[in-house]
Structure 1
């Protein structure tokens, strides 16, 4: 029975150590977004902050035929916004919003 308690304690400590190691590093990044609404611009600003802080994966394909050329460029960013604050907010004469945020982003 004593050996089982020791095993449980050891597994618990190892589990906590793994969680500590896996916790992602966070950093502060600035992002700017544009949209028809404040919410849409804020969401785009969050995506931009993740791309600026953690980077983005880019892939592209080009298809050439006798009559045309087609380029497809894909961008993917992966991360989380832990917190953010709006540092700039403005609405243009066309009604579109521009939002700039300062965000704490992390990859985990």
Structure 2
């Protein structure tokens, strides 16, 4: 993800001030396995797929957990919906420039 991408899921017309902290780390995950809500907090397991030496068995190793408030998850969902719309348009053959998404 570019440092200037905006898929904030915020209200239309709002442009949040986004600053990338120097200690921010990018992580790669193959997917999500397991999500739960406990005491009002959402916990999502982020996993990578790992194969044994001969490639015959696969395991999904939890490499990180995302822990968010319910409102944070709603914002994440809105941002992912916006991103999925852009990906769908790209898959339909329309060229999408690598620029921040704009709210309608």
Q: When you count strand as a share of all residues, which structure comes out higher?
A: 1
Q: Same fold (TM over 0.5)?
A: no
TM-score in terms of structure 2 length: 0.25
* Structure number with bigger Rg: 1
Q: When you count helix as a share of all residues, which structure comes out higher?
A: 1
